[in-house]
Structure 1
């Protein structure tokens, strides 16, 4: 499997370059006025820097040599070379990763180069309109094809894939059979398919765009294809509720009516191509259509409730899946303990103080070792050791033989209990992993039928959060992790976790805990249920990996100030209002240490007050007078400034011998929230 995967990865880059080369070579067939190839040029710019962009440029050059004469190919190739140089020179800048810069720069370059050729021509005013249209097509092509062509990990968004299909159909429009364009037949089938899948409005929009591009290459002087495909797309999307056959017939009738009304010369050709598109659409397998897309109307409130429920189910399912995978990654096969440990521990207790220990374990070591080896099979088979299991030579020489037998039996019982416990723990861990996976699949399947998800509206915050991390001296990674987020109902959640130890291993433990808790809480699980679930899961996981984490979780409603602080083994937390400081401690153990209890404290976070969460690297709570004095005397309102100040003072009082983390919540006043 690994060899096959490495082979596929080795061929992935060459195949991607070859596909880009073939794509631009074919897209040169789409030419506006026999001089512009905007689809191919847009694909070159969208392919980015490196080998992908270079091979896209090669395809453009080969296509221009085949499809164009020298006079028209020269500016096309020149623009393609400028596109590749521009992307290679500026592609590493962060602002180039945004949506608009590359399309806008491509349009400007295309228009500047072709504008020079137009100015030098004998009649420049005639072709300016066509040049502007080609410029717009270049920008649209770069923006829509860039997610697919730029990089080794393409993003196959529906809009990009749809536009790529439109481009390929338009490039194939030069192929004709009995005067009918094969490419336009497939283009009509694509418009009809989109209309039936996405509805009337999408069908009309895609039909209008496709028809406009077809009119630009046909240069018929009108908008025949735009009107025909746009009207046909709307008709097909409207009639899909009555079946695919009726939708196809409605599309053909609409295209036929629009084409014959607007153009008597080419109207018959467009109408016949519509019949071919209808036939191609009917040939699509039913399973690819996914049934009718018309659904009964629902109220906005009901739809929002369903979407919120689906979002929460998906987030909870993701949390359970991550929990299952984390347990699977950190679970090793049960390592059976060597039975020799029974003899090692027994002889350590009996033989060490024996007067003839040197005789048995140095001079006659071979005899003693063989005696224990010969007794091992009987010991494991019977579950206890007897005097007859040892050779007479050994038993007669040993002056503490009865005591040795008694100790061996005690150690054997302990060995068998440990073996049974490990197997029971492994079985429990395996069962828990299976239950998490099954529950995740169940929630995912349940959410799949609840409709699409809409992003939640942002709420007026009315609060500020400051956070700072500091690794231990000599470490590059901090073992503490901080996170803050809002749930769908506007509840603020602040998390601070301290992983066992320092450095990378501790950071992995704390980051895993933060990620799982965030997914549970965003999925609508109550904090109590989420912490209880993770307590049990982390206890099973810790039995294999040995890791654990402390947890400080603050749940706050910014509007009312009502809050709950959950603590699992963390350092003290502090609430400050004016010059009064309240200290909150906990008595439970960290996550993964076998207990399920959690300290829970109800708070009222008043306006203009602070809540401070920190790890034991900042203050362990034993000598925190400096911290309480600092908080009591603080008169500012910036939580980030306070977090930085606490970290600075902790280095003076605590040093940097442990990872440190500080998270500060500041609840603003009513006036600040109203803004």
Structure 2
């Protein structure tokens, strides 16, 4: 008995599960829609809507024959030329199922073919029965309606079929669903319950649902649609269009106050416009029908309300809220960054004032130096009264003259001692030694003070530099970055159609029209959904090829969500090859280099030559390259980067520490290259036609002067061009040329290879050969090739 009950229960659950599956596939909804569209008619007898529905379902649903039968049932329940439409449906069935079943039709061809079949079948029918020119005109009009309604159904049907799996609908889909629903209401024409029109009740109810869930704009749009379609089916006054539209508008305006307020808004809209038109309290839509729709709207079960809201609503409200918050956050960030910038500017000014004050104090230290000499040598001398009391100014000026001679000649002795002191001083030797010793100590102190003054100046410049960076960043956030709502909405809809669930999309567009699209989604656990589905779909939607700026998958970091940063793919690519050798073929080279891809589709090639050779030069050049990489990758401007490197090199020690900077930044979208040089030797561009262009420079290396001068030049590259960057060890290899660049130009013009590594090797080998196979300096050459993708 227990076994029997279990089996019975299993069968019940199985049947219940099948019923749920049918419901989840929205087959019941489509069946109801098929029946109503089959009954719907306009202009007293034209029924094109069921024809268009059947034509669309023939290409989109395996159950189209069942739905076609339901359309026929709807046709048979109304009066009119039903047989003509049956013939049209049979022709559509034969055409799409047998004649053109293997053809790939887009929606235009499908809609056109459906309208054409309706035109042909209708024309044949009226020729076989009776022929009036008016009938031919009406068939032409009906065929146009079939064509247009097929387009509308192509948006609405997929959204209705897959609504259980869809989370967002586009505005076009929402409007098309509203139009199809409005037309379906026509299928309720002449249907009454207790004398009340089901068509009017359904129209009011539909307007309420759309207005309450979609807002004023959707409510008014649906109201206009229902009013227009109602006017086409009956002889009612067109004022009904305005009544439905105004009522839907007010219902949408009051929706935030709840369902009751939204429904009262519709009643109020109907009453106001009716009174305005008629000048009385007689309503164009029966008040009882409005009350019935009001009651149904209020008692609609929550699951059904949520289902309808799911069809109407989209994620756009959430997007708008997120955008409002993002705008607020942007304003807060901008204000905070401005405050940080002002604070760093204040710090820079403070250090600058301290540095100026220190310099003024140092200029008055001569008096202290003379006092030190006098107290040490003259305090116990028997001639003190004669020298200092009786001849103070002469003695004082003579010691100043001695210090002046010491500064000019580097040393004070008996030969260059001032005559006054030489004749009068009894302790000449001790005085000479003391002046030399005190001056040497003072000189060392002065050098340290000067170094401290320079450091404070550097710190001041760095504070001001950081302030400028923060200020530029705040300006960029405030003015240059815009959220592209249209692209975001299009991407949400596209992903939803493909059943790719996305948590958040942010589309940033800069002033040059370049996109950065941030997409956040759940981790696919290395199933490569990003590469195989998301990136191709984004490229298709925006019409530009995009790539993921972040390499790898966040699965490696143990994160639950992936964040894709998609940017426009480069039109060009760049590749750099190196050939190098150190002085005397040692392990350590004083030349350091780097090449890497930066933000905004930029490619950087950098070479630094430290002062001298060996470990010390390697440290200086490596520090330069490391700072250059880190700051450029962080997005700092090239001016700030090189000034920062210059400050660091100057502050390393009291010893001289400088290195050259040879920087080339290539824009991979435009193929423009900017050469920035600080003490570096010339660079070369070998064009695809064999010509060689020389890029010269006249600036000093970094780490010599506080105010560094940058030599910058911008050139346009072409597909297949080469950029050749080298250290002075290569350029100075041939002493026979007056112009050192001539021998490099000759070699580049003679090389036929398109391989950057072979070109680099050839230049290095020629340089070693011209040195007589003696490597007297570090040699490095970088060859970068650029080509169009």
Task: Tell me the TM-score range normalised by the shorter chain.
Answer: 0.3 to 0.5
Normalised to the residue count of structure 1, the TM-score between the two structures is 0.45
**Is the radius of gyration larger for structure 1 or structure 2?**
2
